[in-house]
Amino acid sequence: MSALEQSLQFGTAECRQWRQAFFDRLPSLAEDLAAGFVHVANRHGNAAGNRWLARHAAGLIEPGHVYRRFAFVACDLRRAFAEIRRQCNTTIEGLKAGCVWLADVEKRLTVGSLNATHDDDALVDYAKAQALGVEDARNKLIGNIASHNRRLRLGLLPPPRRLPQPSGETISAQARHMATLIARARNPLTPPAPSVPLMAVFQWERAPVMSIAVADEMALTQARERARLHGITPPSPKSKRAEQIARLGCDKWWRRKLRRVTGRRIEQVMREARRVHKRAGIYCSDLTVERRRSQKVRNRALLETIEAINQNDQVYTLAELAELGLANPDHRRAELMLRIRDTEVEAKRLGHVGLFFTLTAPSRFHPVLASSSQRNPKYDGSTPREAQQYLQKLWAQARSSLARDGLGIYGIRVVEPHHDGTPHWHLLVWAQPDHVDAVTETLRSYAEAESPEELFDRFGNRTTARFKVETIDTKRGTAAGYIAKYISKNINGQQFARDGVEGDHLDNYGHELNDSAPRIEAWAATWGIRQFQFLGLPSVTVWREVRRLTEQQEDELKRWEEATRPRASISNVLRQIRAVALGGHWDQFVRLMGGPNTPRKDQPIKPWSIPAFRTGTGDDEFSHATGEVNRSIVERGRYGDEIKVPKGLVVKDHKGRTAEFLTRLYRWEVRPKRSAAGAGFSGGGEAADPWTCVNNCTPAHVRRLITPTEPDPETLAAQLQRYQEWRASEEVRAEMESVDEENRFIREQTRQLLENDAAGRALMAERGIHVPASPWAGQAEFFPDGI
């Protein structure tokens, strides 16, 4: 017999009906509550059981309601609720703890009125609604300006009375109290007796005249409060009022902020639900990995629809240009390894010692135990971002202490997650031999300051759980070899496995680096954590800008020097640094920039940025965001703020004299991708025609050298057989299916871009807003499947 059936044996019919109301309100918990009631009623009677039921059921919520509302993560929430319930001493304590957690989850996964687990289309629509709400509130205030000022002129809008706060528990009671205060107040037009002059008791005040500035300030206050209610940090109050309103009234701004907030809240809930650890989704949840993949698909779809053309009529899509820069993980990894390797070369020349530190956050930041992946009783609900801020504060204190003691270090910091998503730091630094002990003890003292009881195991032995140090032994390998695996693991998983090192292609938890890298990248993007940072070394921006001046730009550099006439000593500084940068010698670059730990102000080169200047006229002068007309020559962004763009370098000689050098030699114009149908070119001129290694202008003897010869039938048959075997393998089939799925995603996202643009233009036309020419006009024919 179930507990619900047993509870029917106690009390009268009215009593059973009263208990049934509790069971109907909490159907998922009815059986457990009935069991508790039966237990108490058997021992102390029906009345005691009723009191127990009323007392303990008061603070419970129905878990099924939360599961239905967040159906996308219902399985994970249900599993976490059951686990919380099992860990408590009694059933009712477990139910209360689980309900408290579910209530908190429901609050966090509700951003304003948006369900954080809904798809991205719902988020986009919600962002548009919030931006439209801000604009409507501002327009309403502006529309009431004339009415307010007219009533003020006619004397119909006196200053508000300064009355005490009304008392009363209900609105009606407060209204009656306010009416009583007004009725008992003295008429300001009646002088008090006896014979006090009327003018002596007047306090003259002028009601403020309503203006657009006042309306904007009121609208901004409401908009900032709207952002806070969604857990979004409003724009900086130090910026101009028009720029703040422009951001808060932009659906793209809301979309970015909402994606960030919802992504982090969902991931934190998954961590608390114990779905992020080495036995489940390592480093981050599977849901976050899928959201990050969808984001990349959207970005790729957008980049494929936009192209850039320079003054030489060279046309590229933004996707092609992105692959040429540091957005390409292979390029990023190669540059990092070059800088690390050459920094070690310079450190050896200076006679410095390499140190490898590992800093870990205290136990309260870890949701699960490292050994068993069970819940950590010390966990306080901190997010990975909060753990990163703790480590940053620790490092700032240690760095200040080192600076006070005159202990200089330089190297690189790598941030990577534990299996549960909690960040920890790896520091590869170099220091003078006589500073090694002092540097180590300084870092150790700050790293182990909090919760020192966690530094010892159950046998009383001191552990390296919070701080670990290794001295780089050049006999065992180089510093680049120490950190190469961490670099590969945090970028794309590609590396050359070291000879004689077993399991070098695996991470610390036995997972393939190629599988771990996307999860780590998604983890860093979700929590906004910077993975790599060099310290005590010259600016890499200068390195990259100098490398723009390749041998092909020699003539442009000479013409620039002829026009600006810099001093010979300044040109020599740039010439020396340019030679080592183009040669890929980071160690010599560090030396010429003043060496490690040289202050930026003392380095011979620094970046040069200037305001962006307008190159067009007409409709572009009007800002739809701020409602202002930009008549200056300085280009302004979407929100009305001034845009600064990098242009080159400021070079300084040994006497402190400076000169500017231009490194951005191409002027790019971004536009929607044009049609390639019909004429067979992209519309950017002759240079925009398809670039191939063989065309009609290539001489015949050159074509023979670069064109493969026709194989004989036997060779061709053997090649075809090998190709078919390779094509039929499981690995290739899985890879091709993944590529096909990603292409379908890209096509779908491109179609949605076109549809959203058409819907937005229709809405603007309905509101009487000027509709500019659509950047997507005529683009549908470029996309496959009839999009």
Catalytic residues: 482, 486
Residue 710 DSSP class: P
3-state secondary structure of 317: strand
Describe the crossing of helices 730-766 and 286-304 by its angle, rounded to 10 degrees: 70
Terminal Cα distance for the chain, rounded: 62
Residue 115 DSSP class: E
What is the CB neighbour count within 10 angstroms for residue 273?
23
Residue keyed to tokens 């006196």: 158
Write down the number of H helices and E strands in the chain. 27, 13
Strand partners, 115: 110
Residue type, 734: A
Q: Are 311 and 687 contacting, i.e. CB atoms less than 8 angstroms apart?
A: no
3-state secondary structure 517-557: HHHHHHHHHHHCCCCEEEECCCCHHHHHHHCCCCHHHHHHH
Listed in order, strand segments (DSSP E) in 113-269 are: 114-115
* Alpha-carbon span 262 to 269, nearest angstrom: 11
Listed in order, strand segments (DSSP E) in 567-615 are: 605-611
3-state secondary structure of 287: helix
Give the tokens for residue 360.
């870990």
* Alpha-carbon span 210 to 360, nearest angstrom: 57
Report in angstroms the alpha-carbon separations of 383 from 322, 379, 386: 32, 10, 5
Alpha helices in 249-285 (DSSP H): 251-272
Listed in order, strand segments (DSSP E) in 635-754 are: 644-652, 658-662, 669-672
All residues at 6 or more sequence positions from 397 whose CB lies less than 8 Å from its CB, including other chains: 446
Residue keyed to tokens 């970028």: 491
Give the tokens for residue 367.
């949701």
* Alpha-carbon span 778 to 418, nearest angstrom: 49
DSSP 618-660: SGGGB-TTT--B--SSB-B-TTSPBPEEEEEEEEE-TTS-EEE
Report in angstroms the alpha-carbon separations of 649 from 311, 562, 675: 22, 17, 38
Exposure class string for 577-589: b at 16+ Cβ within 10 A, else e: bbebbeeebbbbb
3-state secondary structure of 42: helix
Residue 192 DSSP class: P
Residue keyed to tokens 């940072």: 533
Dihedral of the CA atoms 322, 324, 327, 331 (nearest 10)? 170
Q: Are 127 and 197 contacting, i.e. CB atoms less than 8 angstroms apart?
A: no
Residue 309 DSSP class: E
* Side-chain-side CA neighbours of residue 175 (13 Å): 3
* Alpha-carbon span 236 to 135, nearest angstrom: 19
Residue keyed to tokens 């701080």: 467
* Alpha-carbon span 28 to 23, nearest angstrom: 9
Closest CA to 664 of 519, 516, 532, 547: 547
Element (H, E) at 729: none
